[in-house]
Amino acid sequence: MRFGAQLVNYFCEWDATLATIRAVQNGRWDSLWWSDHFLPPVGRRDLEGGGALEGWSLLTAAAAITERLRLGLLVTGNTYRNPALLAKMAATIDQVSHGRLVLGIGAAWFKREHEAYGWDFPSLKERCDRLEEALDVIKLLFTEGNGGTANYRGKYYRLDNCPLSPPCAQSPHVPILVGGNGEKRTLKTCAKYADICNIDFNNPGGVDVFKHKIEVLERHCEAIGRDPAEIEKTMLIPLRLEDDEAKAAQLRQRRGDWVLYGPPAYVIDQIGGYIDAGCEEMMFSAVPTKPEHFERIDADVLSAFG
């Protein structure tokens, strides 16, 4: 079992982020992640000015100052960047990190963010269509554009003899992670394009939900003739260590009984259920970007798994 730390981009400054990156690098963690938001995604306009560090800029900095951690966003919003530009960014950071980047991508969901920055916010169907077409473009650049040029003409995106040079450091290319829980489109897209599936339990979840989502993914793989074992199964879930069990129970009741809120022994037991369900990497979210939080999780939770 591998563990990833998702640092919070918002309500924090670079100096605290840097100190936390160093704490994660020095611990048992396997990977380091951020989200892709330009406003704090809390649904309250009075908190919009709380600040948000840009995710791909953070990845670039982390690539230069870390040595072993895999790096990525959970997940890049496809509507925010042209996919050819995104492929170029990914290949560059993969070079900087000597092959440690994961390209996490999803359809995007935060309407207010689009409004604030003047970006179109298409229908859910169009966002899903755009995601599939974007992944066509990215895959072409990662393969045909790697040492050659790629051409593409779709409904939303085009390539005209477009190279990807220098190429990804990883072979055959940067792994692609598709994030999201939608059973009709997102998991179908994941089956077609992804090297890694990430189920987001910032949404309602639990072990049974995880099992169900993976079964849906496997059915989509079967429909297109793909071996589901080719896709790594991962998940993102909120974590908060709280030693007072009564307080932890109240927090879970308020937030949702699937979240990992409780003493270390409780959290360890819950993680065991996901391991049994086939989870290969678990990323923790909603942990404040302070070194001491990640150091304690490392000492009290990750240590139980070797």
Q: What is the pLDDT of residues 1-45, one digit of tens each?
A: 999 999 999 998 999 999 999 999 999 999 999 999 999 988 777
The string of DSSP codes covering 211-251 is HHHHHHHHHHHHHHT--GGGSEEEEEEEEEE-S-HHHHHHH
pLDDT at position 44 is 73
* Mean local confidence (pLDDT), 173-182: 97
The boundaries of the domain holding residue 301 are 2-305
Q: How far is CA 270 from the centre of its chain?
A: 21
For the whole model, what pTM was predicted?
A: 0.96
Answer yes or no: is pLDDT of 193 > 80.
Answer: yes
**Strand, coil or helix: 176:** strand
Q: What is the CATH number of the domain that holds 74?
A: 3.20.20.30
* Mean local confidence (pLDDT), 129-141: 98
Cβ distance 248 to 261 under 8 Å?
A: yes
**Strand, coil or helix: 66:** coil
- The residue written with tokens 């859910």 in the block is 124
**Count of domains forming the chain:** 1
Which bin fits 291, alpha (ψ -120 to 50), beta or left (φ > 0)? alpha
The 10 Å Cβ neighbour count of residue 237 is 25
